[in-house]
Amino acid sequence: MNINHHLDDATLISYSAGALSQGMALVVATHISICDQCRQLAEANDALGGALLESLDSEKVGDTMLANLLSQLDDQPPETVTLAPVKRDPEIPVPLSDYIDGSLDQLEWKRIVPGVAYYDMPWEGRGVSRLLRIAPGKSMLAHTHDGNELTMVLRGSFSDEVGRFCRGDVADLDDQIEHQPLVDSEEDCICLIATDAPLRFTTLFGKLVQPITGF
Amino acid sequence: MNNRPPGEDLENIVQISQADMASSDWSDLLASLSENADKRVYARLFHHFAPKVKAYIVRLGVNGGAAEEVTQEVMLSIWRKAHMYHPEKAAASTWIFRLARNQSIDWMRKQKYPLYSLEEWSDTAAEPGQGEQEVLSDRVAKAISLLPEKQSQVIYMSYFEGRSHGDIASRLDIPLGSVKSRIRLASEKLKQIWGGEYEH
């Protein structure tokens, strides 16, 4: 896959450190699963975690823990890797398929305004974690953020002040950027997005609909 | 071995000094466990890694009995998943770090941390883990000690305290962008020290 926009290394470090929200970690895992370049960086960052683990001063464990474990080992079946279902929709990368049944078109999309709909991921948190579906020629409302925002394209494409984003690309933005993505594909653009803080819309209309959209 | 109380004979074997083991030796040992479910090998790994895993879990903020419980779960998963370990893909410390991280998060959030699957790793055409085996912990520890304090601090706050960029920013009272650029700089320097194989 030809991917032109990648994750920021600061985001990848945070993912390896286990410091990302569920929603942000889902976008990262989904992108890494199809991007060799980011995967190599993620593996290097995990190795940093391993080295840091080794560098820690030991903490005493209970005297009986090893004996407890040894007494259980014979009853432990080896864990097998859960293979992704064979019928899995190829449009949905494996990490995301854990949370979506069927295809993207079968989801119960909720309309915000004409041409813009969303589907929320099944968890609650401080930020946003959802799929966003925007019709051709439509634009996401201009906004900025207090925190980070990750947007990965699953279908179609959009352009904003940073560049053009197609399937597999990820926009990894922070609070320095105000942007207004415009869908420039012939089909709907579907993105997986996550923020670690609420968005701030920059137009009066955006501010008016903010309570409705739940951002 | 099965007729004796668990642990009795193993304790003697693992008294062998483990201080001289290099990072790659632990990887070899874990690889041997992946081929042959040997409790003596497991006990040696336990003595080295369980106190480190617990130290990591405690730093993340899990305390008391819960820290023991999560440590035990991590150590048990080493036995159950050992057959999936490939030494050419990751050092033992890396692999065990991943297990400890994932289980700690799952325990704290009661929700599974989204992961890119093991299956996809093994199928990748790129050479995963390339050069990773050369990352010896003492080299990394030294490399981190060479970083400016502002940079090592954000690495520690990320890995050992599990803090998000925003959280670090408010704790240090600096802009979010500064946190990210410090992490980026630290990461670049550390990787240069490892051999510069991970350039974007």
The residue among B180, B181, B188 with the most chain A CBs within 10 A of its CB, best to mutate, is B180
The residue among B21, B71, B158, B193 with the most chain A CBs within 10 A of its CB, best to mutate, is B158
- What is the number of alpha carbons within 13 Å of residue A32 lying toward its C-beta? 31
Asked if residue A107 has pLDDT above 50, the reply is: yes
Give A167 or B9, the one with higher predicted confidence.
Answer: A167
State how many domains chain A has. Answer: 1
Give B135 or A170, the one with higher predicted confidence.
Answer: A170
Task: Give the helix/strand (H/E) hosting A164.
Answer: strand A164-165
In angstroms, rounded to a whole number, what is the distance separating the alpha carbons of residues B53 and B11? 20
Q: What is the mean pLDDT of chain A?
A: 86
| B91, B102, B163 member nearest A50 (Cβ) | B91
Determine the average pLDDT of the residues in B39-64.
95
Where helices occur in chain A by DSSP H, the ranges are 9-16, 22-32, 36-55, 65-73, 94-97, 204-213
Residues in A closer than 8 angstroms to B101, CB to CB, are 16-18, 49
- ipTM value greater than 0.90: no
Six token digits for residue A32: 């890494």
Same domain assignment for residues B161 and B109? no
pLDDT digits (tens, 9 = 90+) for A173-211: 887 777 788 999 999 999 999 988 765 555 555 555 555
Is B14 part of a structural domain of the chain?
Answer: no
Q: pLDDT class for B199, splitting at 50, 70, 90?
A: very low
Q: Which residue range is the domain that position A185 belongs to?
A: 1-82+90-215
Q: Can you give the pLDDT at residue B118?
A: 43
Q: What is the mean pLDDT of chain B?
A: 81
Residues in A closer than 8 angstroms to B21, CB to CB, are none
Is B111 part of a structural domain of the chain?
Answer: yes
Determine the average pLDDT of the residues in B175-194.
89
Interface A:B, Cβ pairs < 8 A: 261
Same domain assignment for residues B111 and B141? no
Residues in B closer than 8 angstroms to A152, CB to CB, are none
Least confident span in A52-56, A201-205, B151-155, B173-177: A201-205
| A51, A67, A95 member nearest B115 (Cβ) | A95
| A48, A61, A83 member nearest B140 (Cβ) | A48
Of all residues in chain A, the percent with pLDDT exceeding 70 is 85
Contacts of A53 (CB under 8 A, 6+ apart): B52, B53, B56, B93, B96, B97, B100
Q: Which residue of B has its CA nearest to A23?
A: B114
Domain of A124, CATH number, reads 2.60.120.10
Q: Can you give the pLDDT at residue B85?
A: 93
Q: Which residue range is the domain that position B108 belongs to?
A: 22-125
Interior/surface letters B178-194, b for 16+ CB within 10 angstroms, e for the rest: ebbebbbbbbbbbbebb
Q: Can you give the pLDDT at residue B196?
A: 44
Same domain assignment for residues B120 and B26? yes
Binning chain B into helix, strand and coil, the percentages to the nearest 5 are: 70, 0, 30
In angstroms, rounded to a whole number, what is the distance separating the alpha carbons of residues B198 and A157? 28
Contact A196, B176 (CB under 8 A): no
State how many domains chain B has. Answer: 2
Q: Can you give the pLDDT at residue A27?
A: 97
Q: pLDDT class for B121, splitting at 50, 70, 90?
A: very low
Q: Whose structure tokens read 């642990």?
A: B7
In angstroms, rounded to a whole number, what is the distance separating the alpha carbons of residues A84 and A109? 24
Cα A121 to chain centroid distance, Å, stands at 10
In a 10 Å sphere around its CB, with 0-12 CB exposed, 13-18 middle and 19+ buried, how is residue B161 labelled? Answer: middle
Q: Can you give the pLDDT at residue B123?
A: 43
Domain of B101, CATH number, reads 1.10.1740.10
Least confident span in A71-80, A182-191, B44-53: A71-80
Q: Can you give the pLDDT at residue A4?
A: 95
